[in-house]
Amino acid sequence: MKYAAFLPLTALIALLLISVLVNFNVIPAGMSILELLQDNMQNGFFLIIFVIILLESIIYVGFYFPGQFFAVILVVGAKPSAMDIVYLTLCMVVAATLGSFINFMLGKASGKRSQQQGAQVAKRKTKLRHLALAMIHINSLAFFMFSQGSQQKSWKVIGLAGLLNLPYYLLLIAGTAVLSEQVMAMVENTALLISIVCIWLAIALMYDVKQYRKDSIKVNAKS
């Protein structure tokens, strides 16, 4: 992608569109669909957890399904044993890693189209601090993986994200159990997500303007 602002702009549009459609009852709330899924799969607890984490981990789709919040509430409500928590964490990690793979492949396909249209592909290695920052939220990780794929980066970033997700989901379950459901509900709040995406968009726009000025200076210097 030529402009850094492209992804945050499309993310903001998707998030606002979903919010409007849900608010005017054009489409049902993602939470109600997840609850329906739970009611119809009483004996498939691990499968439910897998599906809802996978749904939220996919780019744009994750704005509609608050899967991470819903999954952790289900886990805590089930009062799992220590061994159950280990199995559930592994289930969540596998689902999130599969989501990362899907996002990476979508980005890779997008990057190939950009190459065909004459856009240059970044060859720099993925920095661990960038990945760690993206893992603050499952939606930010989705866009990060899409970006990595579009830049034709190494597949290793998917495996690395999977490894980092192991302690992440363990802490997530423990944190929700200790800090209560209200904390997780705040993290999944649509207004908060819109604010974060707006900040991301503002930073990306500043980067694009800075890059545009640099390119203009280079062009003027050559002429």
pLDDT at 143: 92
* CA 188 to chain CA mean position, Å: 12
Residue 92 to residue 207: CA distance in whole angstroms: 34
pLDDT at 102: 96
pLDDT bracket for residue 187 (50, 70, 90): low
pTM of the model: 0.78
pLDDT over 60 at 121, yes or no: no
Higher-confidence residue of 186 and 4: namely 4
SS3 125: coil
* CA 128 to chain CA mean position, Å: 17
Domain ranges of the chain: 6-216
Neighbours of 125 (CB within 10 A): 10
pLDDT at 123: 53
Please, are residues 140 and 197 in contact by the beta-carbon 8 Å criterion?
Answer: no
pLDDT at 197: 87
Higher-confidence residue of 155 and 70: namely 155
- The backbone torsions φ and ψ at residue 145, rounded to the nearest 5 degrees and listed phi first, read -65, -40
